[in-house]
Amino acid sequence: MKEIKWGCIQPLTGGMYIGAEYAIGKPASWVISYPGLCGIKYKQDGTIGSAGNEYNFLQWCKKRDEVPPYFVFDRKIFDTNIDVDNINILLDENWSTAKKPDFKNTDIIVSVPVCSGLSQATIAEDDTKDERNSNMIFNATYALKVIKPKVYIFENAPALYSHNGEHVREILNKLGKECGYSVGYFKTDTQYHDNPQKRPRTFVMFLQYRGKDKGFPTFNYEHKTTSIKEYFGRISKNASQQDLFANFSESNQILLGFIKSKFGDNYREVCRSVMSTITRNDLWDEAIEYANNFDADEASRNKVAKFLNHARSKLEMGKNYYSITPWWAETEESKVPSCMFKTIYSYMHPTEDRLLSVREWLHLMGHPEDFELYGEVGDNISRIGQNVPVNTAKYIVSEAVRFVNNWDTIERNNPEVYMFDNTKYKETKPSKAKRLF
């Protein structure tokens, strides 16, 4: 087995890095990121109020006495200037005293570029696509043109695999060809990697040409599923941050109270969310009346009534509405929704009438039990979702390790732009993959 040398560009909350470390078997040789991502802000009493994504990650590395040499680019994260010829890498003296990164003979680089230009919630309009995807494009350009690893991998939104991501794929494909790399798009979902979180994502792997051989090896499938009950049962009593970070808002207490008043203690057996139940059964007027008579302050009662009227009017117009209202698993086989701000404040524990704890969300991202979220939890909880589930990252990096370890012999019998759908046991036909080039 080859001794793999690897590095990381922009680890954010660390899931991709940790998964890569598990797959490769050792810490990275270096990390490069952007100014401010590991910063912290203190409150007047001297405690941490807000902590950057990478502060949490680097604190975990410090606990293990394995902090990788940590560097930052002298540019902003959404700088649209993609030119890499005049970019400096600066040492962050707060974290490391290492010399300039040694890029020589790097085998694998992993990265977690921001996916705001392709997120399911907000597909960027034409006039903002370049800016919002510039972080992704710059990271890839720097990796391929400056460091030149055998493999470069990054994680991004599920839309990157779809029609909505075609304009970005064209840029990536062109970059790969210019730099001498085949490009593989790996569509998957965290629920197929020994994790009950339903989190569809796209992984992109650039694979350096092997002489004149430009084809791509075949990815392996992984469909390893687990239940919520079994997965949460893996959390040990000694794991940190198991306390609840928040209770339901008073508005959500009113809405959940209404559902319980209609269906009793077995409400979970007959419905799966507050709003879908109200919508499906046309309970708008009953819910509004319940809210108006609920034992709460007038402002909360009015807020719920206003929200229900708004939701009903939007649906009547054939539109959707934004909602952070309680929902829960239908069965033990149901999957937890993707970890993000909306679900963190609305998804209920599978058997208890409460939100999930910080540890349960960290566990759903696959983080070790001593990995902690710093600062005021309410101000930082969304950072957990700005991340890659560890098991999913471990799997895709394990594929890269397989390619590197069998570099001279592995068959490259697929197109140099290769699309693979791990969610359906189905590959995109080569003709369609070639058409994307």
Tens-binned pLDDT, residue by residue, of the chain (437 aa)? 789 999 999 999 999 999 999 999 999 999 999 998 988 999 999 999 999 999 999 999 999 999 998 999 988 998 888 989 878 887 665 555 556 788 999 999 999 998 755 543 344 444 434 566 889 999 999 999 999 999 999 999 999 999 989 989 999 999 999 999 999 999 999 999 999 999 999 999 999 999 999 999 999 999 999 999 999 999 999 999 998 888 889 999 999 999 999 999 889 888 889 999 999 999 999 999 999 999 989 999 999 999 999 999 999 999 999 999 999 987 777 899 999 888 999 999 988 889 999 999 999 999 999 999 999 888 888 899 989 999 999 999 999 999 999 999 999 999 999 999 999 865 444 434 332 32
Domain contains 234: no
Domain contains 319: yes
Q: Vertex 334, ends 330 and 335: CA angle to 5°?
A: 130
> What are the residues whose beta carbons fall under 8 Å from the beta carbon of 150, sequence distance 6 or more?
106, 107, 108, 207, 208, 403, 404, 407
Helix (H, G, I), strand (E, B) or coil at 343: helix
Please check whether residues 270 and 341 belong to one and the same domain. Answer: yes
Q: How far apart are CA 159 and CA 164, in angstroms?
A: 6
For the beta sheet containing 200-208, the strands, ordered from the edge strand earlier in sequence to the opposite edge, are: 89-91, 70-73, 31-33, 6-9, 108-111, 151-156, 200-208, 181-189, 417-421, 426-427
Please check whether residues 38 and 162 belong to one and the same domain. Answer: yes
pLDDT at 373: 93
Q: How far apart are CA 356 and CA 431, in angstroms?
A: 45
Please check whether residues 24 and 146 belong to one and the same domain. Answer: yes
Residue with token string 């969300």: 361
Q: How far apart are CA 338 and CA 200, in angstroms?
A: 8
Domain containing residue 320:
250-356
Please check whether residues 70 and 205 belong to one and the same domain. Answer: yes
List the alpha helices (DSSP H) in 1-78.
Answer: 15-24, 53-63
pLDDT at 436: 31
- Residue 317 phi/psi, 5° resolution? -90, 5
pLDDT at 99: 63
How big is the chain by its Cα radius of gyration, in Å?
23
Please check whether residues 224 and 259 belong to one and the same domain. Answer: no
Residue with token string 């098991």: 391
pLDDT at 97: 52
Domain contains 362: no
Please check whether residues 430 and 289 belong to one and the same domain. Answer: no
Which is it for strands 200-208 and 181-189: parallel, antiparallel or unpaired? antiparallel
Q: How far is CA 315 from the centre of its chain?
A: 30
Please check whether residues 180 and 266 belong to one and the same domain. Answer: no
Q: Residue 421: give its domain's CATH number.
A: 3.40.50.150
Please check whether residues 136 and 273 belong to one and the same domain. Answer: no
Q: Token pair for residue 226?
A: 């687990």
Number of structural domains found in the chain: 2
Q: Token pair for residue 194?
A: 């020994």
pTM, two decimals, is 0.90
Please check whether residues 341 and 395 belong to one and the same domain. Answer: no
Domain contains 368: no
Q: How far apart are CA 74 and CA 78, in angstroms?
A: 12
Domain contains 236: no
Please check whether residues 215 and 317 belong to one and the same domain. Answer: no
Looking at the chain, how many residues does it have? 437
Closest CA to 376 of 132, 49, 1, 28: 49
The b-or-e profile of 64-80 (16+ CB within 10 A means b, else e) is: eeebbbbbbbeeebbbe
pLDDT at 219: 96
pLDDT at 330: 77
Domain contains 273: yes
CB 251 within 8 A of CB 281: no
